[in-house]
């Protein structure tokens, strides 16, 4: 029996490696957000600083089994076999849960996930013990106070971090404004000294205070001399920064942001590492007790886990290396960072999230409250505030930088880091259960709100995004608890066989999320390749025409293939394949919508003399979008018809559809060739073909109406067929409009 537990320990550590990978992918946003958003350095430099911070933080980690030490459950009431069930349920759940969040680019808390997984697994095993006539009540097994403290921590993190970030950013912006270059000549060293002092305090209190190499005397000295340490750091950093600026012309703001990035990376690795490897290490400790005991696994009490579990330095080094490699290689980490940057960027653009009733209500309420507040202040005061927050010159500089423009300036980046560092340090000092992820994210949201990044055109979508992330945090707790509870029950009744079945299922699910992520990335890259916003600022109408020609021909070729394959799948009653075709059609719609959404950026980049070129381009995209809509209205009803298990078309209808399918494909191919070559001499021939096809469609409608009259077709099938004929007619008419608009576009460029 001991051999099977050896295998399970190996499984736990294999899961720990996976957990490290997915955990770093999710938590990278904590320390990369500000530096990448402000573009204080090249991507490689930022990553190197973050990687060094992670490695140092990992080796400084206390090595304590944090969640066990804090008592989510009482291990003295569990046997070794039951502890292993809990730990396995926790690790399987954690890997799956974090990977799902990473796939969809949603930041969440690894601490909350581990705590609620432990709670779910422990409650499941406890209920089974009580059900099997154990003498203890359920309340003796679980420390419910910890779960309530974590939930309170979520609420506290959201409210406090957002509010403090907004207030501090308001005060800072009032002082520095958006045009802060002149003020920094005299105040940069003082500002940097304050910021780096806060960051240093953060490193000492949150990062290395609990490190294994720190003895009790050093810890006591730090605790007793916090005020002196802060004062010495403030004076020392201010003087040093002024010297560096005077002698070496070093940009103090950049140095401040990079120092904050390093500090948060150190603290993340030093404190959150136990969330990933703490459970396997506790499992290893439990196994050592079991190996040295003659008591059976089902009877061996685990009171030894109630204390601290030390970690070997070698293990910490290996964990640090895995985290560093993951940081460099994980595409999902960059996706999570992108979510945070999209919600806090200063400029408008494509919004990732949509609108919701709650976000609209919040915006309406805020606008009304702001109007009421404005009526209470004198005009001179309002003018003064407006002047301090005037970002006109800053926006002009950003627009001139184009794609190289940062998401926000370095003042906001430094405020993000300083406020987050101080809040986390204070929470750690007072043992408040604040989450690093929640604090850093909500501070960034608060500062972006103050800076006016959430304007009238973006506020609803940004608030929806923030609410989605916050909702995801609560979903983390609920999902972690529920899934761990279910897995623990399965393992308890299914024994070790269930473990290996669950591992196989977990691997399959991880592979599926990897495939989903890969597909999403491929679609984004394909879309980016044909986005019109990539045109150089000095591009003339000819460049726009060439780009448009490429986009239209690619889209029409795909639409032709999907029109044919969707009808083929419907005729074969292949519901699964038809569903995939509908997804592909939706993807084309999203791509064309992106062309339309980028019209504003494209038109702004063109010269004043090219305004007519913009008009032709808009017409082409509008007609192309209508064509894609018609294809959607053809394919979706076909799928819904099959999905509801209705009767397919009759043989006569399929015969008519087959002929029509071939004619439409021939027409689209002619249109594509004409647009690709840029030769429109045979346009009249295609117009005649279009007129003939419209007449044929009219005849097919009459035939179908006769069938209805003779009751030779069911109601659902008849309505579907008539809808198909109508949307096919719309499709070919819009194609004709695309062709004429593209011709006019070409004639304008050749004139």
What mean pLDDT do residues 231-247 have?
Answer: 89
Q: Which residues touch 266 (CB under 8 Å, ≥6 apart)? A: 53, 54, 56, 57, 60, 203, 207, 208
Judge whether residue 531 has pLDDT over 60.
no
Q: In the structure encoding, which two tokens stand for residue 346, read together?
A: 């200063």
C-alpha distances out from residue 477 to 117, 120, 215, 349, Å:
8, 10, 35, 32
What mean pLDDT do residues 508-520 have?
Answer: 68
Judge whether residue 674 has pLDDT over 50.
yes
Task: Give 534's pLDDT tier (boundaries 50, 70, 90).
Answer: very low
For the ranges 106-110, 220-224, 450-454, the maximum mean pLDDT occurs at 450-454
Taking residue 55's Cβ as centre, other Cβ atoms within 10 Å add up to: 21
Of residues 563 and 599, the one with the higher pLDDT is 563
Cβ(442)–Cβ(157) below 8 Å: yes
For the ranges 213-217, 705-709, 729-733, the maximum mean pLDDT occurs at 729-733
Distance CA 234, CA 516 (A): 49
In this structure, of 302-316, 568-582, 628-642, 680-694, the range with the lowest mean pLDDT score is 302-316
Residue-wise pLDDT for 456-477, tens only, equals 677 888 888 888 888 887 888 8
SS3 string, 491-543, reads HHHHHHHHHHHHHHHHHHHHHHHHHHHHHHHHHHHHHHHHCHHHCCCCCCHHH
Class of 534-750 in CATH: mainly alpha
Give residue 522's pLDDT.
59
Tell me whether residue 336 is exposed, middle or buried, using C-beta atoms within 10 angstroms of its C-beta: 0 to 12, 13 to 18, 19 or more: buried
Judge whether residue 623 has pLDDT over 80.
yes
Task: Give 408's pLDDT tier (boundaries 50, 70, 90).
Answer: confident
Please give the backbone phi and psi of residue 681, each rounded to the nearest 5 degrees, phi first: -65, -30
C-alpha distances out from residue 46 to 31, 202, 254, 327, Å:
10, 20, 11, 11
Give residue 116's pLDDT.
86
C-alpha distances out from residue 403 to 28, 333, 560, Å:
23, 21, 34
Of residues 508 and 354, the one with the higher pLDDT is 508
Q: What percent of the chain has pLDDT over 90?
A: 11
Of residues 120 and 519, the one with the higher pLDDT is 120
Judge whether residue 207 has pLDDT over 60.
no
Cβ(407)–Cβ(447) below 8 Å: no
> CB-side exposure of 713: number of CA atoms within 13 Å?
22
Cβ(111)–Cβ(476) below 8 Å: no
Residue-wise pLDDT for 5-57, tens only, equals 888 888 888 877 877 777 777 777 677 888 888 888 888 888 888 888 888 87
Judge whether residue 58 has pLDDT over 60.
yes
Distance CA 170, CA 280 (A): 45
Segments making up each domain of the chain, as ranges: 2-523, 534-750
φ/ψ region of 454 (left if φ > 0, alpha if ψ in -120 to 50, else beta) reads: beta
Distance CA 296, CA 236 (A): 60
Average pLDDT over the chain reads 80
Q: Which residues touch 614 (CB under 8 Å, ≥6 apart)? A: 544, 599, 602, 603, 606
What mean pLDDT do residues 308-319 have?
Answer: 71
What mean pLDDT do residues 474-492 have?
Answer: 89
For the ranges 99-103, 233-237, 390-394, 704-708, the maximum mean pLDDT occurs at 233-237
Of residues 84 and 352, the one with the higher pLDDT is 84
> CB-side exposure of 127: number of CA atoms within 13 Å?
11
pTM above 0.85, yes or no: no
Judge whether residue 67 has pLDDT over 60.
no
Task: Give 352's pLDDT tier (boundaries 50, 70, 90).
Answer: low
Q: What percent of the chain has pLDDT over 70?
A: 83
What mean pLDDT do residues 157-171 have?
Answer: 89
Angle (nearest 5°) at CA 421 between 159 and 90: 70
What secondary structure does DSSP assign to 325-359, as a single string?
HHHHH-HHHHHHHHHHHHHH-SS----SS---HHH
φ/ψ region of 495 (left if φ > 0, alpha if ψ in -120 to 50, else beta) reads: left
Judge whether residue 412 has pLDDT over 80.
yes
Give residue 228's pLDDT.
87
Judge whether residue 485 has pLDDT over 90.
yes
Give residue 68's pLDDT.
45
Of residues 442 and 345, the one with the higher pLDDT is 442
């Amino acid at each position: 029996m001991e051999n099977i537990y050896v295998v399970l320990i190996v499984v736990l550590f294999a899961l720990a490696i996976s957990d490290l990978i997915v955990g770093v992918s999710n938590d990278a946003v904590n320390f990369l957000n500000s530096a990448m958003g402000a573009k204080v350095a090249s991507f490689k430099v930022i990553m190197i600083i973050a990687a060094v911070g992670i490695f140092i933080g990992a080796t400084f980690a206390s090595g304590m089994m944090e969640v066990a030490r804090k008592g989510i459950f009482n291990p003295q009431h569990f046997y070794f076999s039951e502890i292993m069930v809990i730990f396995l349920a926790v690790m399987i759940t954690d890997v799956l849960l974090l990977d799902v969040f990473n796939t969809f680019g949603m930041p969440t808390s690894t601490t909350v996930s581990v705590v609620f997984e432990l709670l779910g697994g422990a409650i499941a095993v406890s209920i089974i013990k009580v059900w099997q006539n154990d003498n203890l009540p359920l309340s003796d097994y679980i420390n419910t106070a910890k779960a309530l403290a974590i939930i309170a921590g979520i609420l506290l993190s959201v409210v406090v971090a957002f509010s403090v970030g907004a207030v501090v950013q308001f005060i800072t912006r009032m002082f520095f404004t958006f045009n802060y270059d002149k003020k920094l000549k005299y105040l940069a060293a003082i500002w940097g000294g304050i910021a780096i002092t806060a960051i240093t305090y953060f490193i000492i209190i949150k990062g290395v205070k609990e490190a294994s190499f720190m003895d009790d005397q050093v810890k006591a000295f730090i605790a007793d001399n916090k005020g002196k340490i802060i004062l010495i750091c403030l004076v020392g950093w201010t003087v040093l920064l002024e010297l560096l600026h005077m002698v070496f012309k070093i940009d103090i703001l950049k140095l401040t942001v990079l120092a904050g990035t390093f500090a948060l990376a150190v603290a993340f690795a030093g404190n959150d590492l136990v969330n990933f490897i703490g459970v396997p290490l506790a499992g290893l400790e439990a196994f050592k007790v079991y190996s040295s005991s003659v008591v059976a696994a089902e009877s061996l009490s685990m009171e030894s886990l109630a204390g601290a579990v030390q970690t070997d330095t070698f293990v910490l080094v290996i964990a640090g290396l895995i985290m560093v490699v993951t940081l460099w290689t994980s595409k999902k980490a960059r996706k999570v960072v992108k979510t945070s940057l999209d919600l806090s960027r200063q400029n408008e653009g494509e919004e990732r999230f949509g609108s919701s009733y709650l976000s609209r209500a919040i915006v309406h309420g805020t606008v009304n409250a702001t109007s009421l507040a404005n009526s209470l202040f004198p005009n001179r005061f309002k003018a003064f505030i407006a002047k301090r927050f005037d970002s006109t010159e800053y926006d002009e500089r950003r627009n001139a930088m184009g794609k190289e423009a940062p998401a926000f300036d370095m003042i906001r980046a430094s405020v993000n880091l300083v406020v987050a560092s101080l809040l986390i340090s204070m929470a750690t000092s007072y043992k408040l259960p604040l989450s690093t992820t929640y604090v850093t994210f909500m501070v960034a949201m608060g500062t972006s709100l103050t800076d006016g990044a959430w304007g009238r055109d973006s506020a609803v979508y940004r608030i929806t995004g923030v609410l989605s992330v916050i909702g995801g945090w609560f979903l983390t707790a609920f999902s972690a608890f529920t899934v761990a509870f279910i897995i623990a029950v399965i393992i308890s009744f299914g024994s070790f066989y269930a473990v290996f079945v669950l591992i196989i299922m977990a691997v399959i699910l991880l592979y599926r999320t990897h495939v989903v992520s890969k597909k999403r990335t491929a679609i984004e890259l394909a879309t980016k390749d044909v986005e019109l916003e990539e045109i150089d600022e000095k591009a003339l109408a000819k460049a726009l025409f060439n780009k448009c020609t490429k986009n239209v021909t690619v889209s029409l070729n795909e639409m032709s293939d999907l029109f044919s394959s969707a009808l083929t799948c419907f005729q074969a009653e292949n519901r699964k394949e038809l569903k995939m075709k509908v997804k592909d059609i939706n993807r084309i719609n999203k791509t064309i919508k992106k062309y339309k959404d980028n019209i504003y950026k494209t038109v702004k980049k063109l010269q004043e003399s090219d305004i007519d070129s913009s008009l032709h381009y808009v017409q082409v995209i509008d007609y192309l979008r209508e064509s894609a809509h018609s294809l959607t209205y053809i394919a979706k009803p076909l799928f819904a018809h099959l999905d509801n298990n209705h009767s397919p078309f009759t043989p006569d209808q399929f015969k008519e559809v087959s002929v029509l399918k071939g004619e439409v494909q021939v027409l689209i191919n002619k249109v594509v060739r004409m647009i690709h070559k840029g030769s429109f001499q045979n346009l009249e021939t295609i117009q005649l073909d279009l007129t003939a096809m419209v007449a044929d469609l009219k005849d097919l409608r009459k035939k179908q109406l006769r069938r209805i009259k003779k009751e030779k077709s069911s109601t659902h099938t008849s309505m579907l067929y008539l809808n198909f004929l109508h949307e096919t007619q719309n499709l070919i008419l819009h194609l004709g409009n695309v062709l004429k608009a593209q011709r006019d576009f070409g004639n304008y460029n050749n004139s």
